[in-house]
Structure formats: C-alpha cells, structure tokens
Structure 1
Amino acid sequence: MRKTMLGLAVASVTAALTLTACSIQEASCSDGEYSVLTVGGTGSACVSDGEKPPKGYTRYPQGKEPKHVDDKWDVYWRTHTVDENGKIIKAPAE
C-alpha cells in the first residue's frame, strides 16, 4: 500500500511539472526590449526600449507584434515581411 501511494504521489508531481512546463511561453524579447523585423526578410531582433531599430530593421506594424515564440504573430511573420515603404508583403522564398 505504501509503495502504491508513493508511486501515485510521484506520478502526480511529475504530471503537474510536465503540464506547467508546457504552458510556459518563451517571450520573444526580454523585459525592457521590443521586437523588430528585417525589411524585406523574415529575420528579427530585439532592441532596447527607447532605442531606434538598427539599419535594415523596422518595428512590426502596430497590433501585429509577436510577443511569444510560436504565437499567432510569430508564425505569421515567418511567411510575411514589410517592404521599404512599410507595406506588408509575402516574404521571399529562402
């Protein structure tokens, strides 16, 4: 009986840890940073708040910024980009 109870306890803790780890989403950037997109490509980077994007990068269109790895916008921007005029376009094939 003791072994069964111990086994159930270990299984419960293992299941809880597994489920918790799966529900944690990795942020696209750290606190104090925002994501930027390469103009004409699908690359991205993180820039410190208050700084401008580096040459060749631009901010994501408002409301379409990825917040977490594999979220709706992160997936979208894998196949889309912006041109030099800020227009959203299909990303060139790699």
Structure 2
Amino acid sequence: MPQHPRTSLLALALAGGVTALLLTGCAGWQERVCMPDEDPVLAVNDAGSGCVARDEEPAPGWTRYPEGKVPVHLDDTWDRYWSDKTVDENGRVVPLPR
C-alpha cells in the first residue's frame, strides 16, 4: 500500500530527531546538587553533604556553605573545591580530617 509523501516526510523527520537526541545524550545538561527549593549543606568537621529546605535550619552538626562558595551543579567549581575541605565549628574552612 503506497504511503502519502507527507507521512513519509514526517516519519523521516521524527526518526532524525530521535537519532539526534540519542547521539547527543542531553549535551550541556548538568545535574543539580539539590532541588530548586533546597540549599546544600555540609557536615561540620567531617566529610559529607546534603540538602535542606530553604526555610529550615540544618540539623545539628551540619551548616550551610559559606556565602559565595556554594556548589550548584555536580562537579562545578565549588563542588570540586569542597571535595577536600569542610568547615569547623567556628565556620572556618579547614582540610577534611583524615
């Protein structure tokens, strides 16, 4: 049974779009550290990070990142910066304990 030329063209365009999407992955997409309504937090004097709702205080032993040094996406500048650092009980940036 012959196909209508428009149907063939539409099928070809859809197949091309799907192929392009599969080949590029989601190029340029970066995973966020936290959900948009959350702030990232880090463990005081210890390794570890998490997320807390913007309108809540972090649990004891946790604190928000210092202003201007907050990671937003996984593997961004600040996420890499904090990979070997934390903060102490006075809020000073210190090396991670061994």
Compute the TM-score of the two structures, normalised by the length of structure 2. Answer: 0.76
Q: Percent identity between the aligned chains?
A: 48
Q: What is the aligned length? A: 85
C-alpha displacement at 1:13, in angstroms? 5.3
1:81 paired to 2:86: yes
1:90 paired to 2:91: no
Larger-gyration structure (1/2): 2
Unaligned 5+ residue runs, structure 1?
Answer: 1-5
Q: Secondary structure at the match of 1:21?
A: coil
Q: Secondary structure at the match of 1:77?
A: helix
Write out per-residue CA displacement over residues 24-75 of structure 1, whole angstroms, 9 at most, x where no aligned residue: 0000000210000000122011000110011110010000000001111111
Task: Report the AA paired with residue 30 of structure 2.
Answer: Q
Task: Report the AA paired with residue 37 of structure 2.
Answer: G
Compute the TM-score of the two structures, normalised by the length of structure 1. Answer: 0.78
- Corresponding residue for 2:26? 21
Task: Report the AA paired with residue 21 of structure 1.
Answer: C
Alignment partner of 1:50 out of 46, 55, 66 = 55
- State the superposition RMSD in angstroms: 1.9
Distance in 2, matches of 1:86 and 1:49, equals 19
- Corresponding residue for 2:46? 41
Distance in 2, matches of 1:17 and 1:88, equals 42
Give yes or no for contact 1:39–1:56 (8 Å, CA) kept in 2.
yes
Task: Report the AA paired with residue 58 of structure 2.
Answer: P
